[in-house]
Amino acid sequence: MKLIANSYEPKDVFKILRQWTELTQEELAKELNKSKFGLKKYENGENRFYYETLLTLCKKHNITITFEKQ
C-alpha cells in the first residue's frame, strides 16, 4: 500500500498507519509507551506527535517512510 502523506492531515496519517498495523489504539499505545488517551489525541488532532514516534511505529511494523522531491 502507498500513502501520499501530503494529501492528508497529520492526524489522519497517524490513524491510517495505526490501521495498517492492525492494532487497537490501546495495543499501539502500549507498544509506543504512550497512553491510550494520548494516542487518541494524536488521531483527533488535539496533540502533535514527534517524528521519533512516527519513526518508531514505522520501524516496528516494516512501514517505509519516503520523501520525494518532484
Tally of residues, the chain: 70
The beta strands (E) that lie in 1-70 are given as none
**Region 18-23: what's the mean pLDDT?**
96
The domain tally of the chain equals 1
Q: Does residue 68 sit within a domain?
A: no
Q: Does residue 25 sit within a domain?
A: yes
C-alpha Rg value of the chain to the nearest Å: 12
pTM: 0.85
70 band by pLDDT with thresholds 50, 70 and 90: confident
**Region 25-31: what's the mean pLDDT?**
95
Domain range for 55 is 9-60
Asked if 10 and 41 touch (Cβ cutoff 8 Å), the reply is no
Q: Does residue 19 sit within a domain?
A: yes
